[in-house]
Amino acid sequence: HAEAAALAAARAAGSDVRGATAVVSLEPCAHWGRTGPCAVALADAGIARVVFSVPDPNPVAAGGTQVLRKRGVEVIGGVAEASGREALGDWLARQVAPLPGEVGARPQVLVKMAATLDGRVAAADGTSRWITGPAARDHAHGTRARVGAIVVGTGTLLADDPALTARLPDGSLADNQPLRVVMGSRPVPRDAAVRGPGGDLLVLRTHDPAEVLRELSSRGVREVLIEGGPTIASAFLAAGLADELHAYIAPALLGAGAHAISGLGISTITSALRFHIVDVHRLGDDLLVVARPRPPG
């Protein structure tokens, strides 16, 4: 929702955007999800003309051109489309990658893990708080505030009792809260933290990642953060439904305990899931490695 962010920045700077031209790479969205459509936000702000490069390929979000024109906004699309597609890169490619056997875009999937240098996400006694330091945790909360949904399994829910909220450094709730999704067959306790203040709670009685994404797509969710333990993360990876890895690595060693990933069914190095690193951030003493799957071939 870059348009909404740009409008907010203009307001904060005291700029009057009425009568202005908005130039964007992607057609402004027209769908109502956890936030309103960017097309409506532009029209409400008094933008007179919108110039965009690439039509939105997601049928859930497309239609911004029609919304804007009905509101009297001049729209020019397809400007420097080749350059726009190059700029949108992997994001655009993922929008047209449907679920198996289906058509249309699916939500983008970010798989997050926080592990020690030896790849452990918990100690032998099951404790896992806190593997990473405050800077890494603050960064992770920023990602939570950006996505439409955050997913864990019932195993993580029962072991850690996470609230699955997006919080500011002072501990207060961020303005934008993700939909909290619990997948699995075991019931969510009545006093679970996910039933407290924060985003809405959605319980899905399934272990199938594709079914989870299908349900979230029907609700207009475009970006999903997988924060479940090794079982859930491995399920999405094994199904080929992970678009980006966010690996927070702490300079610590445990020597025993749960591994970050398990159960991929890989028995030889030639079958390894390969990724390419797109970014590395130092967060206090920790590192964040952002990686995406290598394209076939």
Query: Pick the catalytic residue: 3, 27, 223, 244?
Result: 3
Q: For residue 251, give the nearest of 90, 145, 136, 140 by alpha carbon.
A: 136
The pair of structure tokens assigned to 79 is 């400007």
Helices (H), 172-245: 209-218, 230-238
Beta bridge mates, 26: 54
Alpha carbon distance 253, 120 (integer Å): 8
Using DSSP, how many helices (H) and how many strands (E) does the chain show? 8, 11
Helix (H, G, I), strand (E, B) or coil at 198: coil
The total of other beta-carbon atoms located within 10 Å of residue 233's CB is 26
Per-position DSSP letters for 99-149, written without gaps between them = PTT--S---EEEEEEEEETTSBSS-TTS--TTSS-HHHHHHHHHHHHHSSE
Alpha carbon distance 262, 281 (integer Å): 25
The total of other beta-carbon atoms located within 10 Å of residue 235's CB is 22
Task: Give catalytic status of residue 81 as yes or no.
Answer: no
Vertex 215, ends 290 and 228: CA angle to 5°? 40
CA separation, residue 121 to residues 111, 227, 249, 252, 280 (Å): 14, 12, 10, 11, 20
Element (H, E) at 10: helix 2-12
Catalytic (active-site) positions: 3
